[in-house]
Structure 1
């Protein structure tokens, strides 16, 4: 049988052993817990590194694929399409620029049209006056035998070029009847200048041209040689082929 002292010592010894066991167990648990946490962190870091590398690889693949696609599309597009796209873009930009200030452009167009119409009216009035003045000068009646001869020569020159007397009369600005009435003056001047000068010496400025033309016509009829010469000149184009209406 153990004494009380020995039993107490045995209890104390068992308590110490239990305490030591608990301390060792706690230390082992702490050590094992710490190592497990470190392993988990390392695993997570490795996974993060792998995901990061995979992401970077995918980025590079995507970028290279986009570059290849862009290069292929540029080579496939012909020059005409570029020009058409440029022109279409320009036209679209022009349309946008034109459509944006519609009201201002329309107002400007109306002002320009009104200005042009006004300028045209001024020009018509201006040139109308000039043409009337020119027509008045062109259609001015001959005042003396010299002017009758000069006008006849103009008609004859134009008749030789154009071949029609109506065009020649219109160009000079005189009617046919006036030329027919005064033609003997010019015919006598061209076919028989000596006889013309004789009649001109007796002509007075107070005498009307119609009267002097009648005198020249009578002188032509009185001299068959002059009459024949005038007929020959008319046939050859040296005189106008005028015929008096009976």
Structure 2
């Protein structure tokens, strides 16, 4: 009996050892089969088609263009907000002037009591009927004089610059007032010039300030018969997207006037 038990025990141990070796061999085969698959997958990750690279570069360029458009729109919004504030201030000022004029035009007898009002009016109308007319005529004369003064003050805004140096000096004068006052409209009125006139020639001053070397190259080829507007178009054509970004940054810093337009 003991020999039989020993024999059965040995057979069981041999069978267990065989099953363990079979399992180990199967696992080794699976590892060997999976390794080349991983290598193939790693190789496929590094292989990028040329069309994919082209699409990525196109997307980057489109992103830069979109960023430039966003910057221009932000500058336009900023200018419109400033213009809106100026219009509100002008509106409040005009309303206050109208109110002051109405108070001045009201009769001085408003401070008297209600019972004495008809007596004052009757005596005024009976004694001096022409005095009210003379007062109104004097007021009209004063208003006409004020209008004439305003016209004489606004007359320098019609002057035109015929030299490039004059255009740059006028731009710098407006910029100086803008940094002090913080308002484009008030800066233009200080120099007696409108916004459109500055906007048409602003690119000349911007190029002279940000890229003086390029400006000097263009200026050396400038002819006396060439108009200021033609020279401004040439300046705009020489501004690259990179230089346009630099100009936009200077505008945000307040070193240039926030006049928005498209750069080539």
TM-score by length of 1: 0.47
TM-score, length-scaled by structure 2 = 0.44
Structure (1 or 2) with the larger CA radius of gyration: 1
